[in-house]
Amino acid sequence: MSFQLNMPPSLVAKKLKEEQGKDDDEPRKQSREEWKKQRELEEMRKAGTAPAMQDEEGKDINPHIPQYIMQAPWYFGAETATLKHQRQQPEKLPEYAPLGVAFKKGVKEGPVAVKFRKGACENCGAMTHKKKDCLERPRKIGAKFTGEKIAPDEYIVPVMKHDYDGKRDTWNGFDPEEHQKKLQEEYREIEEAKRTLKEKSLDESLMTADDGGEKESKGGESDGEDKYYAEEMDMPGQKFETKQRITVRNLRIREDTAKYLYNLDINSAYYDPKTRSMRENPLKNTSKEDITELKFGGDNFVRYSGDAQDMAKRQLFAWEAYERGNDIHLQADPTKLELLHMEFEKRKGEFKKTAKDSILDKYGGQEYLEAPPKQLLLAQTEDYIEYSRTGSVIKGQEKAAIKSRYEEDVYNNNHKSVWGSFWRDGKWGYACCHSYIKESYCTGEAGRKAEEESNLLVIPSGSRATEEPAQAIQQKQKKKSSKKTKRQEKKKKKKNKKESSDSESDDSSTSSSTSSSSSSSSSSDSSSDEEEDEDTRKKRLLKEALEQQKSHDQKISRLLQMDERKRPYNSLVEVRAPTDEEMEAFRLKQRRVDDPMAQFLND
């Protein structure tokens, strides 16, 4: 980044003329070395080895600023490196309402005009507004024509633009003197009301002190009730902060176990981290059935156990009774509340009974209420049960299906079956679309058809299906046919040699018979050779698989003896399906616990 002058063409031409001088020489151009030095200086500034470029105020300019940002436009007229053109220009800054400055509002103090002045409001006669902006009640004949009751002028508040904070400043144009006057008046009124209330209470206390013990006891009861009902009054010196009380209630000792650590199962009780509450029992579906033996049984256990529900009902009854004018309180007088509640329940039962009797007396039907159940009247039920000869239930009262504590029949990604409902060639998948990819989107019948078409190219061989393309199968068949032709050629050569030796020793008749017999024997030998070759190949593969299994077992035993921190990872091991020989070797090397001779296998 380097500073370059950006001037209009007229100034550029003028500067060129000044550089040419009197001899009309061409202006000197920048040499290649100077250009290279300038580029090196820029790189050094970016690397921090050279001091940064400074503007006209002596402030450093970031060397990583692009050229098009640092370059001032031609009409700006910048002759040195600067960034002033990127900042807000002072002439364009709007004039905001200053904070902390109070503007006078309302009516001006002083003498009021007697005559109507030119340009004043035609309705009230004030000079500070026009008729359309007048807030006074429209007069039948304006002040312009009567010249009477001229309204005083108001203070003009300057109209200024507000920024974001100025628009939302509730104290803009605030007059502290006016506010102080208002506060002093309110404080004076409160103090006066307190003084009168205190005098009244002192007079009542003096009057009650002269009365007997009965009035004194009544006064004690009222004082006690005042103490009990102190929560309903705004008591000075006591602040009940609900938020602070909740946070203190939900805090726990650091040595105690956190609620969400009692059961780490995802489907267990929900823990709300905001309020630190777990309402349900986290060990609900575990083996610990007796909730009294648990350290924590959920927050709702305390709410719904013991007399908590009765306590809540009594509190609700007390609130409802207090709204209806009965002076009762749960904490102040629990005995009175209990007696009143018992009386209420008794009257409620009597009222229901009287209402029922009045309806029966009016409309009748008492005999239907006292009738026995239909099962006893008809001596039969509608419950159908089908038994077998042995007495077991075939149909009817079946046992309810045992449900798992895990979520069942939850189908995601538009599937109609769960993962693991389909299996083929050692792979699990979805039965609805035959997809082997877990958490994939269901493709439905189209996916099943595509999977079946891909299986048309699969040819099963042996006990497991090997998926091979058609070209690979054709190549294998060609190899097998070439091997067969080579074997047949070898056998023909052997046969020709034998026939030539037989013709020399025997005559022609015997040679023909021997040739036929030799041909039959050769065919039998060829088939036996093929079987022997197949058997030897299987034996060889099985022997190799046994050696691999033995080395694998030794490696596993060696790894188990190692420290788990030094044990290597197996993330890069090739994963493939085992062959028939490897499965046979695994079965042969597998340790059978129930075999009495299993302990002698290692020996």
Whether pLDDT at 238 is above 50: no
Query: 497 falls in which pLDDT band (50, 70, 90)?
Result: low
Instruction: Identify the pLDDT of residue 381.
Output: 64
d(C-alpha 373, C-alpha 164), whole Å: 79
End-to-end CA distance of the chain: 82
Q: Element (H or E) spanning 387, and its range?
A: strand 386-387
Q: Give tens-digit pLDDT for 515-573.
A: 444 444 454 555 555 556 888 888 888 889 888 888 888 888 888 888 878 877 765 45
Range in 28-42, 78-92, 231-245, 565-579 the model is least confident about: 231-245
Range in 208-212, 231-235, 358-362, 584-588 the model is least confident about: 231-235
Query: 466 falls in which pLDDT band (50, 70, 90)?
Result: very low
Whether pLDDT at 122 is above 90: yes
Q: Give tens-digit pLDDT for 388-444.
A: 888 777 777 665 566 667 777 778 888 888 888 888 888 889 989 988 888 888 988
Sign of the C-alpha dihedral, residues 460, 461, 466, 472? negative
Instruction: Identify the pLDDT of residue 354.
Output: 94
d(C-alpha 46, C-alpha 40), whole Å: 10
Range in 108-112, 114-118, 349-353, 587-591 the model is least confident about: 587-591
d(C-alpha 442, C-alpha 434), whole Å: 9
d(C-alpha 422, C-alpha 442), whole Å: 14
Is the pLDDT higher at 556 or at 44? 44
DSSP string of 420-471, one letter each residue: TSEEETTEEE-TTT---STTPPP-HHHHHHHHHHHHTT-EEETTEEE---HH
Decide: 6 and 69 in contact? Cβ < 8 Å.
Answer: no
Whether pLDDT at 468 is above 70: no
Q: Element (H or E) spanning 386, and its range?
A: strand 386-387
Query: 368 falls in which pLDDT band (50, 70, 90)?
Result: confident
As given in the structure block, the two tokens for residue 294 are: 């648990």
Whether pLDDT at 263 is above 90: no
pTM over 0.85: no
**Angle CA(455)–CA(461)–CA(465) in degrees, nearest 5?**
40
